[in-house]
Structure 1
Amino acid sequence: MSSVSSGYPSKLANGVVCRGRKNVKEGSIRTTSAATDLSPPNWFADPSVTKAPRPEKKRNVSLGSSGNGFVENTESKTTKLDGNKEPESKHVGQSHGKSRRWSAPATGLDTRKLLISKAKTNIQQRLEMMRLASVAAEAMATEDAAPLDEVKASSMVGGHQSVRKINGPITVPDSDFHDFDSNRSEECFEARQIWAIYDEDDGMPRLYCVVREVLSVQPFKIDIAYLSSKTDIEFGTMKWVQYGFTKSCGHFRIRNTDIVEHVNIFSHLLKDKKTGRGGCVRIFPKTGEIWAVYKNWSPDWNNSTPDEVRHQYEMVEILDEYSEQFGVCIASLVKVEGYKTVYCRREESTKWIPRKEMLRFSHQVPSWFLKEETSSVPGNCWDLDPAAIPEELLGTGAGTD
């Protein structure tokens, strides 16, 4: 019995797999000419006979993506063996001409690049504004501003006695209750702390520094970096720094460094204050602190304002911390009769100092809260550091503010 094989492996009845040529049942398929089955075709003898198609060698010429999210696919160019080109054949369903295939753009990468570019532009604009403000401040600064080197040499006496040099050494009396010198001994200093330093104007603690490294405790030797500010634009348009005044609150940056070997130029440690990015430090009055404000302060002050007008102070308690919208809420303090450094809150003296008047604050005064049951003074009083109080306010008279 004859059988027809499909040309693929087939399994016989006995389980043997046989692979062979396709067997055609005799007489099942007839061609138009018997010569075609029995002998090779003679293509050159009979021009009427069509040559069977043969796969031609092709040279693929591909172009890269255009870069705009589309990928262009050009048609393959066909080259015959004899070097002559013939029209390219089209397959069923193939479109004519160049075809474009949509490729989804890398939206995540493009968005990230766009955001980075925008952020760089904003940062460059801000840096340029800061640079211009700094240049303007330096140009308008007074040439007779005292250098910080005088602060380094403000005292050459060791120990804990608070002695400062302005136009000569000033001996500070002891406070009524608390020993403030114990809070600024050699053992109190650590790296990355921010300390207040007495200035050379009238000896009040208006300057700041960052402790970079404690080199030695005994003898005392530390590496510090001064904090300063060349503008006061965070509080408005008043040219406070340009007129030679010292700003005690606002934004500060790390400037020059120095090695200090005398502990009594330091006033107090600023708690919870750390340097931010780029060495920026924000110092503002905090709730519960005691600050001295300029009693006769005016936005019209300039470098010709006499010292006797500027160097008059009032002690205040901070009731609410600084905000750009409202400023700082304060309450005035009055000295308790019979004491040099004890102050209590004055009744009905609460008021707000707005943002544009923040330069009214002169300096922070270290304080120690006195409880009624532990002292002979009335309740809600503070013992203030005499080293941060002007000499004329250290009398024992009553009602001095």
Structure 2
Amino acid sequence: MSRALAPAAPPATGAWREGDPVGHRRFADVGDLPLQLGGVLPQVRLAYETWGTLAPDGSNAVLVEHALTGDSHVTGEAGPGHPTAGWWSALVGPGRALDTDHWFVVAANVVGGCQGSTGPSSPRPGTSRPWGSAFPRLTVADQVAAEVRLADHLGIARFAAVLGGSMGGMRSLEWAAAQPDRVGAALVLASAAASTADQIGGQSAQITAVVSDPGWRGGDYHDAPDGQGPHTGLGLARRLAHLSYRTAAELDVRFGRDAQFGEDPLDPRAPGRYAVQSYLDHHADKLVRRFDAGSYVALTDAMNTWDVGLGRGGTEAALAAVRTPLVVVAVDSDRLYPVADSRRIVDAAPSVVGGLRVVTSTSGHDGFLLEADQIAPVVTETLELGRRG
């Protein structure tokens, strides 16, 4: 009787690296990037994908913003160069809400990320090593500043719309605040105008999990042998995060106190796992094989520092000054970015169109990825606002 082989040890980093299959990525060198918190990130490169055809006047361009562990692969199958299928495939493509037969869709891997854009796993200019511990702190405003450079590179003077959820919603709102003449309308989905103490606390715990792993090596682990990266810490961070992405009620319905098949959690000799533990273990293992711990820390830190009012006189003052039409959507069961966070934007920003929209979902924060039937109409509305703007 054959025995199943144990999975191979994960690489030190799950980042895309030079020599890996390119897939559908393209690359733009956007120059040296001055940073909001000081310093300059030199020789920034952004990996991006596009779908559709740019109109001669550029009027049909749309920017789609990914969340924390997403990337530029918004739609399409998994394959060489793309470890996962598109994260919004139900909404982006021919005949879908964001119809690529009409719209020219752009999605970039955020600066600080690990799927082709400059980040901690990227080669540090002037050296033969990755950035690692020397990678500077970034903010959401820095991420958007890099995307502005990408728009210039592509010859796009103005996006008809910028669409994003979660961390992508932060960038969508930052585009509206920072670049009002370059955005027709913005969709801010399952996000916030500024991170709260609760969000900073949970996210800081995830950072601590990563940097406390001996495999972290101060951030300089990228050349470690397979199995010797900060996988335990990154996996723990993913487990903590995933619990905030879903709801207590959903987890209880799906798993309850059931044991993983063939395992006994109450065995005093060798305790097995509950089914929910196995579920979290699975998501942790998937992430460590496709993501970089340094990027997880850098991007989570950027989410902690997020405040659209930074340098603009405070959150409410910044929201009051936004003139780009905003469509603001919350998920009713979201416990990471609860409805109150979206309500704050609606109450303070006079450019919000149609008041607060609320998606009904049992899936919590992940509803912004899963409830395509409810999200499609607000995508369509945002595009129409941008078309008219």
Give the TM-score category using the shorter length: under 0.3
Please give the TM-score of this superposition, normalised by the length of structure 2. 0.26
Between 1 and 2, higher relative CO (CA 8 Å, sep ≥ 6) is seen in: 2
TM-score, normalising length from structure 1?
0.25
Larger-gyration structure (1/2): 1
- Give 1 or 2: higher helix fraction: 2
Structure with greater strand percent: 1
